[in-house]
Structure 1
Amino acid sequence: MSFEIRRAEAKDATAACEVLRRSIAECCVLDHKNDPAILDAWLGNKTPETVASWFASPTNYSLVAVEEGVVVGVALLTAAGKLALCYLLPEVRQRGAGKALLACVEQQACSWGVKALQLHSTATGEEFFARQGYLRAGNVRSPYGVDTVFFWKQLDGTVCDASKPKRFCGCN
Structure 2
Amino acid sequence: MEAPICIRPAILADVGIICRIIERSIRFGCALDHRNDLLIVNDWIRQQSADSLSAWLADPHFYLNIALLADKPVGVGMAQRSGDIVLCYVQPESFRRGAGRALMNDLQGWLRVRGLHHVHLNSTRTGEAFYRHLGYRASEPPLMHKGLQILPMCKSLPLSG
Q: Structure 2 length as normaliser, TM-score?
A: 0.93
Task: Give the structure 2 partner of residue 104 of structure 1.
Answer: 106
Give the deviation of 1:70 after TM superposition: 2.0
1:140 to 133, 140, 143: 143
Give the deviation of 1:78 after TM superposition: 0.2
| Unpaired runs of at least 5, structure 1 | 163-172
Distance 2:56 2:142 in 1: 25
| 1:30 is the counterpart of 2:50 | no
Distance 1:116 1:147 in 2: 23
Written as runs of structure 1 = structure 2, the 5 A alignment for 1:42-61 is: 42-61=44-63
| Unpaired runs of at least 5, structure 2 | none
**AA aligned opposite 2:71:** G
Could you say what the CA RMSD is over the residues aligned between the two structures, in angstroms? Answer: 1.2
Task: Give the structure 2 partner of residue 153 of structure 1.
Answer: 155
Distance 2:31 2:151 in 1: 16
Distance 2:47 2:152 in 1: 21
Distance 2:136 2:23 in 1: 25
Task: Give the structure 2 partner of residue 87 of structure 1.
Answer: 89
Structure 1 stretch displaced more, 30-39 or 65-74? 65-74
Give the deviation of 1:75 after TM superposition: 0.4
**AA aligned opposite 1:112:** R
Give the deviation of 1:108 after TM superposition: 0.9
Q: Structure 1 length as normaliser, TM-score?
A: 0.87
Task: Give the structure 2 partner of residue 69 of structure 1.
Answer: 71
Residue 82 of structure 2 aligns to a residue whose secondary structure is coil
Task: Give the structure 2 partner of residue 8 of structure 1.
Answer: 10
Number of positions where the alignment pairs a residue of Structure 1 with one of Structure 2: 158
